[in-house]
């Protein structure tokens, strides 16, 4: 078995290697997220290596369909709640983090937490995790298809908490309006970020 990875740069390298056999579209998305996260890291004086590593590995399982996500999550003992059963796509973050820890020997709690919760965010998210979360949500291709995201991107230049609260409010509102279930972590995160916004 290879050595445990604790250095963010080495972890990023391992994730980039693993992404090389993922669909090209997904690799390009991960590259855009990494660039965006590094930009936010520079603006807000955050740890660049943690941001880069979490961005590189956040979507290792984003290409999987719901049935595959459920099967893989069960085989890696990823907890599956009723909320995940209703929307299995949420599992691609927790599954990537558990797989990274168990199959790739990644041992870095903050990077793994950033990856685990990158769909819903988490009320205790670090600023590095928030930078990756926002870089993922407002990356250029998504913003081109949904110009409303430009306001979130602009807010992220000044206040990561305010921007994340704004993004989650947009998504929760649209889910409410279309009768979809709300993930409780997304609601708790929005409340926490609203309290912390400047
Ligand atoms: Fe994702
Ligand atoms: Fe993503």
Q: Calculate how far, in angstroms, residue 97's C-alpha sits from the geometric centre of ligand 1.
A: 12
User: Given pLDDT bands bounded at 50, 70 and 90, which one contains residue 126?
Assistant: very high
Average pLDDT over residues 55-67: 98
Average pLDDT over residues 79-91: 92
Q: What is the mean pLDDT of the chain?
A: 96
User: Given pLDDT bands bounded at 50, 70 and 90, which one contains residue 197?
Assistant: confident
The answer to whether residue 4 scores a pLDDT higher than 60 is: yes
Nearest ligand for residue 119 CA: 1
Asked if CATH classification 3.20.20.70 holds for the domain at 8-139, the reply, yes or no, is no
Domain boundaries, the chain: 8-139
The answer to whether residue 11 scores a pLDDT higher than 90 is: yes
Nearest ligand for residue 30 CA: 2
Predicted pLDDT of residue 25: 97
Q: Calculate how far, in angstroms, residue 62's C-alpha sits from the geometric centre of ligand 1.
A: 6
pTM of the model: 0.96
Predicted pLDDT of residue 198: 74
Cβ–Cβ < 8 Å for 148, 163? no
Nearest ligand for residue 28 CA: 2
Predicted pLDDT of residue 1: 53
**Please, which residues have CB within 8 angstroms of residue 46's CB and are 6 or more apart in sequence?**
40, 127, 128, 131
């Amino acid at each position: 078995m290879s050595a445990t990875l604790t250095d963010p740069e080495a972890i990023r390298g391992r994730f980039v290697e693993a992404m090389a056999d993922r669909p090209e579209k997904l690799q390009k998305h991960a590259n855009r997220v990494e660039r965006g996260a590094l930009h936010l890291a520079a603006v807000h004086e955050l740890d660049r290596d943690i941001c880069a590593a979490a961005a590189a590995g956040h979507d290792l399982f984003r290409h999987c369909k719901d049935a595959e996500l459920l099967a893989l999550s069960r085989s890696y003992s990823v907890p599956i709640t009723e909320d995940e059963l209703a929307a299995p796509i949420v599992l691609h973050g927790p599954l990537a983090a558990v797989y990274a820890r168990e199959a790739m020997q990644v041992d870095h709690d903050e990077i793994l937490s950033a990856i685990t919760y990158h769909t819903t965010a988490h009320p205790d998210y670090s600023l590095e995790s928030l930078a990756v979360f926002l870089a993922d949500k407002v990356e250029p291709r998504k913003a081109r298809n949904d110009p409303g995201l430009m306001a979130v991107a602009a807010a992220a230049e000044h206040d990561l908490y305010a921007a994340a609260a704004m993004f989650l409010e947009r998504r929760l509102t649209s889910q409410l309006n279309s009768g979809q279930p709300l993930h409780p972590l997304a609601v708790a995160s929005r409340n926490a970020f609203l309290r912390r916004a400047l």
